[in-house]
Amino acid sequence: MSQTQLTREVARRVFATEFNDATYTFKESDDERAPNYALLPTGDRANRVFIVGTLTETEDVGDESEYWRGRVVDPTGTFFVYAGQYQPEAAAVLRDTEPPAYVSIVGKPRTYETDDGTVNVSVRPESIAVVDDATRDRWVVETATRTLDRIDAVSEWEAEQEAPEGASTAPGNEYAHMARERYDSPVENYRNAVIQALESLEDLEATA
């Protein structure tokens, strides 16, 4: 097994509404090759993400060479995915897939600051695959579970911050602390997003 495979980061499952709020990125060392992380508002870091949704639109936005943009929608919002000459397989999928189609994507978060100071978050895909509705539904349920786990960990950490000095025995949560410093959105917003996502599955079952 190669060193790259050994050190590859876990791909975090995250809904679009949280992903698009993850505008702060950081490295944990000064090494030029150190991984770049997006700080999730629910108190975790993500070097890679795993998303599944409906590819609703594709467009070649490149000037001199192909550079494909895909719009991928989950029950909470929209991911924007960009692939060009350095991601040829992913770009080919965006080029050849006729929307709408369910797709699963593993990729890296990327941020871009516009002239007016707005930070946009997108995905640079490592791989894209067309999948079925069962795969998409399973992703929604698993992502809901992972998101709730992160929210519960942050809530526990916040409760510990209010405990009398010396009374806390819980370990620190540095990413929860960073998220509190960097973001204004309360984590309960993302609990509402989980509910919205799970209710969307119930609505689909009711109309099936």
pLDDT tens for residues 62-108? Answer: 888 899 999 999 999 999 999 999 999 999 999 999 999 999 999 99
HEC sequence for the chain: CCHHHHHCCCEEECCHHHHCCCCCEECCCCCCCCCCEEEECCCEEECEEEEEEEEEEEEECCCCCCCEEEEEEECCEEEEEEECCCCHHHHHHHHHCCCCEEEEEEEEEEEEECCCCCEEEEEEEEEEEECCHHHHHHHHHHHHHHHHHHHHHHHHHHHHHCCCCCCCCCCCCHHHHHHHHHCCCCCHHHHHHHHHHHHHHHHHHHHC
pLDDT-derived band at 157, boundaries 50, 70, 90? confident
User: Who contacts 127 (Cβ-Cβ below 8 Å, separation ≥6)?
Assistant: 89, 90, 105, 106, 107
What tokens were used for 12?
């975090």
User: CA-to-CA distance for 183 and 136, rounded, in angstroms?
Assistant: 29
pLDDT-derived band at 131, boundaries 50, 70, 90? very high
How long a stretch of residues is the chain?
208
Q: What is the mean pLDDT of the chain?
A: 90
Mean pLDDT of 5-16: 82
pLDDT digits (tens, 9 = 90+) for 33-69: 889 999 999 999 999 999 999 999 999 998 888 999 9
Q: What is the pLDDT of residue 133?
A: 95
Q: Which domains does the chain have, with CATH numbers?
A: 1-208 (2.40.50.140)
